[in-house]
Structure 1
Amino acid sequence: MTEGWLWALFTVIAAAAQTARNAMQRELTATLGTAGATHVRFLFGFPFALIAVAAIAIVSGQKLPVPNAAFWPWVILGAASQILATGLMLAAMGERSFVVTIAYTKTEPIQVALFGLIFLGEHITPLLAAAILIATAGVMVMSFKPGASGTRDWKPAALGLASGAMFAFSAIGFRGAIRALDGQFFMVSSFTLAVGLALQAGALTLYLMWRERAILTAILQSWRPSMFAGFMGALASTFWFLAFALATAAAVRTLALVEVLFAQGVSLFVFGQKASARDVMGISLIVIGVVLLLWAT
């Protein structure tokens, strides 16, 4: 496989790993709360990110990148936005089903395309724009539930859409940080991930020590499932960052909508939530959008 198609492979692997991590975090929310379950992906993911950087350095013989002045604002934006995005996503999962929550957060590609154009100068071709709109329309079809009304129905929508916006800022921030570094794409992407996780784990640990120390104790007591969630989070993030090093944020996050398909599988086989005709229609639109995306790139 040529480097030109590697980003697509990396994205699909990342989406599958992220689905597993999201499912595990959803379960951890019941015992650790939103803040605790959010912290798990960063605290337990950081050691795996360090191992990845060390392995790449040993195997390739490359030196670690030297962060420059442009790197830090981007990586801080990415890290802070991802913390907020994850917390909002888990809060939304407490209000609605797993697959619907994931669908709400996946309104992200349109926002990524806009932010990428504004902040990174990454232009969108007409075919790529069509792919983004069709795939996002599929997500909206899956999200809309006829006959739903009331505050409780607006709350998960607001939380999910806000989460999608924060994930969009996170994607732009991390891609900007990767582009600011010099070096081979495996090293610069893995190094950026390790720095981002260090910032996130440190910030959330300090916050929990200040406000909710009992949660830190609960996290350590739940170390077995937390370790798995951290590993899957680090695995997903590693491949997201590799994809960001090779393709625009808009292309990566649009192809990432395959996560909705994976989430539908988890919803059906793990949580026992059946797919409706509307879900099938939405999935079909997502598939069409993904095919157009791959054709456009």
Structure 2
Amino acid sequence: MSWILFTLGAVILQTVRNALQSKLSGAVNTSGVTLSRFILAPPIALVYLLILYSGSASQVPEFSGSFIAVVLCASLLQIAATSLMVILFKQKNFAIGAGLAKSEALVAGVVGMLFFGSYLTPLGWAGIVIGAIAVFVLSSGNRLHGISVKTMVIGLACGTCFALTSLLVREASHMLNVQHTVAAAWVLLWVLCVQTISLSGYIALTKPFVFRQLTNAKKQVLAISTVSCLGSICWFTAMALQHVALVKTLGQLEVLLTLVLSHYWLKNAVTKREIAGLLLIGLAAIFVMWA
């Protein structure tokens, strides 16, 4: 049952990271906020991997071409997902951006049905309907008309990228012939290195001023990278030990933490409509994952 502890740790750390990134997004370009999650994380992941090996008899696994391909896809999808979440922060307040990204759980249910042979029960379909209603409520804000289709699309795209990332991370972990905990650490190190190198290269070629922005906010960047890496260790390990569906179900506790942080830390006013929408997102995800 250790996956439960890893998932709970991931929920807390991810909620804090999202809040930190939300604040940083006010002074740093979207690509820079995304990079802040990865740029200082690989050394932390490497230290964690070495600690695991110090108390384990596991050998260094063989990395096949298929493994590398899956890792590359997962890495790029997570970059896309993080960038979309930062954009969501700028579309709505922090709680709503994170809430829309929780469509990840709903999308995972649909993707599992279409591409992994998963069967959705009536309870699962009920979750999808509730999720659609939740997105409608969140996107309409306090208005009765003029629903923001743009916000809905970005939120669903963000959730889709996160869902695919989770499924691919678990797949990559199970490709390595070592203990699941060690395999998850290897996958994390690979993913972080790919993400840091690729996104840094892109920024250097297209938006070099972003590095200056990050340097000016170095304390925030250090905090985000550290919290993010620790959270990823928890997520990757939990998904290697248990099915993604169960992990993401328990992970819906993040919705409640998001509401608390948004109101008490970021001083965002959360309306009754927004609370209802966020709770519906959480309920819909639970329906889909338990179906």
Give the structure-1-normalised TM-score. 0.86
Q: After superposing the two structures, state which structure 1 stretch, 98-107 or 133-142, moved more.
A: 133-142
Question: Kindly, what percent of the aligned residue pairs are identical?
Answer: 26
Displacement of 1:223: 1.8
Structure 1 pair 217/288, CA: closer, same or farther in 2 (3 Å)? Answer: closer
The DSSP-based 3-state class of the residue aligned with 1:94 is helix
C-alpha distance in 2 between matches for 1:182 and 1:171: 19
C-alpha distance in 2 between matches for 1:8 and 1:285: 23
User: Match of 1:253?
Assistant: 248
User: Match of 2:203?
Assistant: 208
The answer on whether the counterparts of 1:115 and 1:172 sit within 8 Å (CA) in structure 2 is no
For residues 50-76 of structure 1, the C-alpha deviation after alignment (integer angstroms, 9 at most, x for no partner) is: 111111111224223221232112111
The answer on whether the counterparts of 2:84 and 2:158 sit within 8 Å (CA) in structure 1 is yes
Matches within 5 A, 1:228-239: 228-239=223-234
Aligned amino acid, residue 176 of structure 1: E
Is residue 39 of structure 1 aligned with residue 35 of structure 2? Answer: yes
User: Match of 2:77?
Assistant: 81
Displacement of 1:132: 5.0
The DSSP-based 3-state class of the residue aligned with 1:85 is helix
The DSSP-based 3-state class of the residue aligned with 1:42 is coil
Is residue 179 of structure 1 aligned with residue 174 of structure 2? Answer: yes
Matches within 5 A, 1:130-279: 133=128, 136=131, 139-140=134-135, 143-144=138-139, 145-147=141-143, 149-150=145-146, 153-279=148-274
Aligned amino acid, residue 138 of structure 2: S
Structure 1 pair 27/133, CA: closer, same or farther in 2 (3 Å)? Answer: same
The answer on whether the counterparts of 1:113 and 1:124 sit within 8 Å (CA) in structure 2 is no
Aligned amino acid, residue 51 of structure 1: V
Candidates 56, 62, 80, aligned match of 2:58: 62
Displacement of 1:156: 2.5
Structure 1 pair 291/167, CA: closer, same or farther in 2 (3 Å)? Answer: closer
Is residue 50 of structure 1 aligned with residue 46 of structure 2? Answer: yes
User: Match of 2:24?
Assistant: 28
C-alpha distance in 2 between matches for 1:75 and 1:272: 38
Displacement of 1:191: 0.8
RMSD: 2.7
C-alpha distance in 2 between matches for 1:287 and 1:84: 23
Q: After superposing the two structures, state which structure 1 stretch, 253-262 or 202-211, moved more.
A: 253-262
C-alpha distance in 1 between matches for 2:247 and 2:133: 17
Give the structure-2-normalised TM-score. 0.88
Structure 1 pair 288/65, CA: closer, same or farther in 2 (3 Å)? Answer: same
Displacement of 1:278: 3.5
C-alpha distance in 2 between matches for 1:225 and 1:148: 38
User: Match of 2:109?
Assistant: 113
Is residue 97 of structure 1 aligned with residue 93 of structure 2? Answer: yes
Aligned amino acid, residue 88 of structure 1: L
Which consecutive unaligned segments of at least 5 residues does structure 1 have?
Answer: none
Aligned amino acid, residue 237 of structure 2: L
Aligned amino acid, residue 28 of structure 1: L
C-alpha distance in 2 between matches for 1:288 and 1:156: 20
Structure 1 pair 290/255, CA: closer, same or farther in 2 (3 Å)? Answer: farther
C-alpha distance in 2 between matches for 1:38 and 1:157: 21
Structure 1 pair 159/148, CA: closer, same or farther in 2 (3 Å)? Answer: farther
The answer on whether the counterparts of 2:252 and 2:286 sit within 8 Å (CA) in structure 1 is no
Which consecutive unaligned segments of at least 5 residues does structure 2 have?
Answer: none
Is residue 8 of structure 1 aligned with residue 4 of structure 2? Answer: yes
Structure 1 pair 203/248, CA: closer, same or farther in 2 (3 Å)? Answer: same
